Structure 1
Amino acid sequence: MKLFLFAAALLFFCGAFPAQGGEFEAERKKMVREVMADAAVTALYVGSSAISPSVIKAMEKVERHRFVPSGLVPLAYLNRPLPIGHGQTISQPYIVALMTDLMKVKPGDRVLEIGTGSGYQAAILAELAGSVYSIEIIEALGREADARLKALGCRNVKAKVGDGYYGWPEAAPFDSIMVTAAASHVPPPLIRQLKRGGRMVIPLGTQFLTQSLMLVEKKQDGSITSRQILPVRFVPLTGGHP
Structure 2
Amino acid sequence: MNPMDYNKARELMVEQQVRPWDVLDGRVLDVMATLPREAFLPEAHRTLAYADLALPLGHGEFALKPVVQGRALQALALDPADDVLVIGDGSGYLAACAGRLARDVLALERHADLAQAAASALSAQSVDNAHVVVGDAFTWTTDRRFTAILVAGAVDTIPQRFIDWLEPNGRMFIVRGRSPAMEAVLVRNDVNAPRIQSLFETDLPYLAGAAPAPVFKF
- If the TM-score is normalised by the length of the shorter chain, which range does it land in? 0.7 to 0.9
Q: Which has the higher strand share?
A: 2
Give the aligned partner of residue 25 of structure 1. Answer: 7
CA distance in 2, matches of 1:53, 1:166: 36
Q: Counterpart of 1:140 in 2: which secondary structure?
A: helix
CA distance in 1, matches of 2:141, 2:198: 25
Q: For 1:179-209, what per-residue CA distance to the aligned partner results, in whole angstroms no more than 9, with x for missing partners?
A: 1111122121221121122110101124x44
- Displacement of 1:163 in angstroms is 1.2
The 3 A distance-change label for structure 1 pair 59 and 91 is same
Paired-residue identity, %: 28
Give the aligned partner of residue 185 of structure 2. Answer: 214
In structure 2, list runs of 5 or more residues that go unmatched: 214-218
CA distance in 1, matches of 2:208, 2:56: 17
Letter in structure 1 aligned against 2:19: M
CA distance in 2, matches of 1:225, 1:198: 11
The 3 A distance-change label for structure 1 pair 197 and 159 is same
- Displacement of 1:143 in angstroms is 2.2
- Displacement of 1:22 in angstroms is 6.4
Structure of greater relative contact order (alpha carbons < 8 Å, 6+ residues apart): 1
Give the aligned partner of residue 45 of structure 1. Answer: none
Among residues 195, 203, 211, which one is paired with 1:225 in the alignment?
A: 195
CA distance in 2, matches of 1:86, 1:163: 13
Among residues 107, 115, 130, which one is paired with 2:103 in the alignment?
A: 130
| Displacement over 3 Å in runs of 4+ | 165-168, 239-242
Give the aligned partner of residue 193 of structure 1. Answer: 165
Among residues 103, 107, 116, which one is paired with 2:80 in the alignment?
A: 107
Among residues 42, 62, 67, which one is paired with 2:40 in the alignment?
A: 67
Letter in structure 1 aligned against 2:205: V
Letter in structure 2 aligned against 1:117: G
C-alpha contact (below 8 Å) 1:196/1:222 kept by paired residues? no
C-alpha contact (below 8 Å) 2:184/2:200 kept by paired residues? yes
Q: Counterpart of 1:200 in 2: which secondary structure?
A: strand
Give the aligned partner of residue 152 of structure 2. Answer: 180
Q: What TM-score do the two structures reach when normalised by structure 2?
A: 0.88
Cα RMSD after superposing both structures: 2.2
Q: Does 1:234 align with 2:204?
A: yes
Letter in structure 2 aligned against 1:199: R
- Displacement of 1:116 in angstroms is 2.4
CA distance in 2, matches of 1:145, 1:83: 14
C-alpha contact (below 8 Å) 1:166/1:190 kept by paired residues? no
- Map of 1:151-162 to 2, 5 A cutoff? 151-162=124-135
Q: Counterpart of 2:90 in 1: which secondary structure?
A: coil
- Displacement of 1:70 in angstroms is 1.4
**Aligned pairs, number:** 209
Give the aligned partner of residue 20 of structure 2. Answer: 37
In structure 1, list runs of 5 or more residues that go unmatched: 1-20, 40-49
